[in-house]
Structure 1
Amino acid sequence: MTSAHETPVRVGVFGLLGSGNLGNDGSLEAVLGYLRAEHPQAAVDALCGGPEVVTARYGIPATRLHWYRGEYRTASRAGAVAAKGLGKLVDAVRTAAWVRRHDVVIVPGMGVLEATLPLRPWGFPYALFLLCASGRLLRTRVALVGVGAAPIGSRPTRALVRWSARLAAYRSYRDAPSRDAMRAMGVDTARDAVHPDLAFALPAPPARTSPGLVCVGVMDFHGGDDDRARAGEIHRRYLDGVTRFVRALVEEGRPVRLLTGDACDAAVVEAILDAVDSPLVTAAEAGSLADLMEETAAAETVVATRYHNLVCALRTGTPTLALSYAAKSDALMAGMGLGAYCHPAREVDADRLLARFRALERRSAELRHTLAERNRDTARRLEDQFTALTAALFPAADRTRTHARQETP
């Protein structure tokens, strides 16, 4: 608690938040829940991709991450290229000025240290480097909390990610492969902890299973950053395999609910709806991870691609099969006891996918019991994450809490 004579701790949250990715926003929601419960007097604001959305949804002041609004659009004309270049200089000043106003900055979850999807070094990796460098220069503690990392092929991107991690005051990861990846990139991870994904801290709705319902989480998937030459081929194969799988379920009379996790996934949903053309196939309109959890709680089984679609399904205890596109998905499934139920997103074979899906359903009751146990363990481990975060970033509050426990008879 902050006394009447103390200045509230100034906490900033940073990232591609409010930009349409439900997983990113779910991580933010989990951190805001922690701050409101453990540090209610903290003054919180954001530097993020979608400030209007973040302010409207979470009630905190927010500033746009990039000065140039077309940062993530391809620049082909000379004027746009010049504006992007100018934006890099302006963002360096803007980021430092924002960091200076804070005691602590938290980067909540997200795959900020990976390039498992197409990524340019001068986009978010550069923005993250500006944040961490400003924090070190201005003595503002920057914490990368429960983040994802993966090996990176691009040298410029890898260098920016490595230096961002080195300059941060605190690091924790959402899985062991993330920590291993940073160690391989030359970051000293001896003091870095691994905890479950922050989204597991969000409350799960009660189960209300709809008989026969299968939720299929789709993604506008074109491979990773190293797959740019084959992106079109990968996407066509993925879409064809998922469409064939959905059609096979419909032919068996199974209702299918299509889920997304980012605004860009809508085109895949439309393509499947057009190709299958059945009243048994419907699309969810989820605006948050809470909405996604409501959907997965109603399903008998979930098959999903996006990482946080998987998190939502596992959090609600629903037997789940992953269309895996990165090590993070495999690690998540293994950690929740479903490591045998992964199928490669780059090579979706409808027949093999159906066979694995049926094997999953045969063990449905057993796997629901396993997931209930793993969720209880995950909750305990996330309590450890938030306790460690308080000790690292809010030492005065941690000392006060420890002193109060010692005085309690």
Structure 2
Amino acid sequence: MSAVRVGVFGLLGSGNLGNDGSLEALLGYLRAEHPEAAVDALCGGPEAVTARYGIPATRLHWYRGEYRTASRAGAVAGKGLGKFIDVFRTAAWVRRHDVVMVPGMGVLEATLPLRPWGFPYALFLLCASGRLSGTRVALVGVGAAPIGNRATRTLVRWSARLAAYRSYRDAPSRDAMRAMGVDTTRDGVCPDLAFALPTPPAGAPPGPAGTVCVGVMAFHGGDDDRARAEEIHRRYLDGVTGFVRWLVDDGRPVRLLTGDEVDRPVVAAILEAVDSPLVTVAETASLADLMKEAAAADTVVATRYHNLICALKAGTPTLALSYAAKSDALMARMGLGPYRHPAREVDTDRLVEQFRELEKNAAELRRTLAERNRVAARQLKDQFDALTAALFPTTGRARPRARQEAP
């Protein structure tokens, strides 16, 4: 029996800790349940993925400047040529595999600025290549949301239709795909894959008493907010800075968290504006690092989705600066639905009131999170069992026919 050839696909190794955490969780499942599988990746940062996870990796796009703005004729031509070449590169890579998995990530949404001919086009090429070559493509625990841009919505809809297997990280994601015209009757919902990562060990060294982790983000609104992007960002930054200043005035140590390389200017702006030794920056290279920071804190206030996941999985009372339905759904799933504040309209005074309420109920919220994390672990085990049954016939288990929706 030859080894099953498994490919993983996505913007992995590109500096986003949430994306890499989803990959790490999927690799943990594959190594535990399918150690015979030969795994490699088609991804945004192949060198980083190979160095960190020890699997061969290929660059996602032929044109290296894919995600830089093309202002010169040469760059525009390079991008155009790259789109054509990537058709054949993607198809050749997909054909070499029995299964290709897209692990977690918000691959079916545009809650952050997104061009249709960037990642949505790459995902469509992947799913179309899988259908044409007979390679099963699985979208595993992915995020989705309503999309306003017609071209992006069309590419996302057809990508989902062409996939052999789909599951979502929350019910609103499944609802969004149903609203786009995808038959989701047999599609499952499970917690985000990051909940399958190890939890920091009990008794991890605590931080200074009263430490608050504040997770920040280079937030400029979503894909439909491009005209107001700078206004939204300024309001967000001013509100978060005001909250950090209030914490410092109250004598509270603050640890600033990020989740992507693009967040660093926000950190720099807050440090300059507040200018206090009580404000420090956590150096995090993985979701495990983020979880350790959250576990050592008394409370967390965060924006990025996977900052929230890390804090909730660590069992730390958390308040979400919510920018999308996925954050709202996550907080509701974990029993902290009331502790949300809109990232687009940060009101420092109101945020302080909610934070005080969070602290007052901290003991009860820790008990709630412990129970919800146990439920999430059981649900993810069921998700991985379903994935094995659907995609790995060589394990000897009965395999139902993989779902392929007619175009």
Shorter-chain TM-score tier: over 0.9
Mapped to 2, the partners of 1:359 and 1:247 lie a distance apart of: 19
Mapped to 2, the partners of 1:228 and 1:158 lie a distance apart of: 17
Mapped to 1, the partners of 2:289 and 2:26 lie a distance apart of: 18
Match of 1:202 in 2: 197
Matched, 1:233 2:231: yes
Match of 1:399 in 2: 397
Mapped to 2, the partners of 1:151 and 1:396 lie a distance apart of: 37
Contact 1:96 1:131 in 2 (8 A): yes
What stretches of structure 2 of length at least 5 have no aligned partner?
A: 400-407
Match of 2:216 in 1: 218
Match of 1:250 in 2: 248
Matched, 1:274 2:272: yes
Match of 2:137 in 1: 142
The alpha-carbon deviation at position 400 of structure 1 amounts to: 7.4
| Amino acid aligned to 2:247 | L
Match of 2:157 among 157, 162, 166: 162
| Amino acid aligned to 1:203 | P
Match of 1:346 among 339, 344, 347: 344
Contact 1:391 1:398 in 2 (8 A): no
The alpha-carbon deviation at position 92 of structure 1 amounts to: 0.5
* TM-score (norm: length of structure 1): 0.96
Cα offsets for 1:200-224 (capped at 9, x unmatched):
0000103544320000000000000
Contact 2:389 2:398 in 1 (8 A): no
Regions of 4+ moved over 4 Å: none
Mapped to 1, the partners of 2:388 and 2:292 lie a distance apart of: 31
The alpha-carbon deviation at position 398 of structure 1 amounts to: 4.9
Contact 1:242 1:350 in 2 (8 A): yes
Match of 1:131 in 2: 126
Cα offsets for 1:130-172 (capped at 9, x unmatched):
0000000000000000000000000000000000000000000
Mapped to 1, the partners of 2:396 and 2:318 lie a distance apart of: 38
Within 5 Å, give how 1:32-71 maps onto structure 2.
32-71=27-66
Cα offsets for 1:44-97 (capped at 9, x unmatched):
000000000000000000000000000000001111000000000000000000
Contact 1:9 1:43 in 2 (8 A): yes
Matched, 1:284 2:282: yes
Please state whether the residue corresponding to 2:382 is helix, strand or coil: helix
Structure 1 residues 283 and 38 mapped into 2: Cα distance closer, same or farther (>3 Å)? Answer: same
Mapped to 1, the partners of 2:331 and 2:393 lie a distance apart of: 35
Mapped to 1, the partners of 2:11 and 2:106 lie a distance apart of: 10
Mapped to 2, the partners of 1:378 and 1:42 lie a distance apart of: 26
Please state whether the residue corresponding to 2:113 is helix, strand or coil: coil
Mapped to 2, the partners of 1:359 and 1:92 lie a distance apart of: 53
Mapped to 2, the partners of 1:362 and 1:92 lie a distance apart of: 55
Match of 2:298 in 1: 300
| Amino acid aligned to 1:114 | E
Please state whether the residue corresponding to 1:399 is helix, strand or coil: coil
Match of 2:367 among 366, 369, 378: 369
Match of 1:404 in 2: none
Match of 2:405 in 1: none
Contact 1:206 1:297 in 2 (8 A): no
Mapped to 2, the partners of 1:323 and 1:398 lie a distance apart of: 46
Mapped to 2, the partners of 1:153 and 1:398 lie a distance apart of: 44
Match of 1:121 in 2: 116
Match of 2:87 in 1: 92
| Amino acid aligned to 2:62 | W
| Amino acid aligned to 1:259 | L
Mapped to 2, the partners of 1:245 and 1:218 lie a distance apart of: 12
Contact 1:68 1:83 in 2 (8 A): yes
Match of 2:74 in 1: 79
Match of 1:323 in 2: 321
Mapped to 1, the partners of 2:148 and 2:201 lie a distance apart of: 42
Match of 1:314 among 312, 315, 324: 312
The alpha-carbon deviation at position 397 of structure 1 amounts to: 1.0
Percent identity of equivalent pairs: 83
Match of 2:181 in 1: 186
The alpha-carbon deviation at position 396 of structure 1 amounts to: 2.9
| Amino acid aligned to 1:300 | D
The alpha-carbon deviation at position 399 of structure 1 amounts to: 1.4
Contact 1:390 1:398 in 2 (8 A): no
Match of 2:8 among 6, 13, 33: 13
The alpha-carbon deviation at position 395 of structure 1 amounts to: 2.2
Mapped to 1, the partners of 2:331 and 2:396 lie a distance apart of: 34
| Amino acid aligned to 1:347 | E
Match of 1:407 in 2: none
